[in-house]
Structures are given as C-alpha cells and as structure tokens.
Amino acid sequence: MDAKEKLEGYFSKLGLTYQQIAEGTWVVTDDDAGVHQVVVMVDDPIVVVRVTVMPLPQKNREPFFETVLRMNASDLVHIAYAVEGEHLILSNSFLLDTLDLEEIQAAVDEFGLALIQHYSILSKYRN
C-alpha cells in the first residue's frame, strides 16, 4: 500500500474531511474536534502533521516564546509548538512505515486539545 492509499484510508476511517492539495500533501479537517486546516505532508519515510496556530506577535516576543516553550514542556506529549516563517504552528512527525490509525487520531485530538487549552494564554499575544 502506498502513502496516498494508507493516509486517505485513515482519513476516511476517522471521518475526517480531506483534500489533496499537492503530491503527498493533504489538508484535513476534524469538525468533531474543532480542528481545521491540518496539513499532512509525506516526505518518505516521514509523515509530518501540522496546523498553523497564529501569527507571531509583533510585541512582547520574549515572554511569548518563553510561554510557548513552557507549554511545550508541561502540557504537550507528542506534539510541539514550533515557528515556521512568521507563524506559530503545532507539529508532529511519524515514520510512514509504522504509522497507524491511532497515531493519526491521537495527533488530531492533541492538536484540538492544545488549541482549546492554550487559546486564552496565546490570545493575549495576538497583534
């Protein structure tokens, strides 16, 4: 089974809405978890799952980054906050060969939980 079949099969089994936007790249939505615009990218042998959280703040960047690093250490298990360009993202990666349905579900669920738990904290830094 190739990556496309494997991932699209998982998306379907989990009831996720998805659209392939490029070779090896999908945008996934889980309406039940309130998680939208999750990007799943395959760069064999790695699968990266990420979601954009917010633009980086223009002011108070040092306390913002300290807060994010502390949340990485205390609140997140398998995912992590990261910076991509001028945006804060949540990201996770897997080995394609050993990726299973439960890992995809856990990643999407953890994204949703982190976004809900951290919204009030991160919203203080919105421009």
Q: Model confidence over 83-94: pLDDT tens digits?
A: 999 999 999 999
Give the domains, in start order, of the chain with CATH numbers.
3-125 (3.30.1460.10)
What pTM was estimated for this model as a whole?
0.89
Alpha carbons 39 and 52: distance in angstroms, whole number? 9
Q: Residue 122's closest CA among 99, 40, 75? A: 75
- Please give the mean pLDDT across all residues of the chain: 93
Lowest-confidence region among 15-19, 51-55, 104-108, 119-123:
104-108
56 close to 17: Cβ distance less than 8 angstroms: no
pLDDT of residue 71: 96
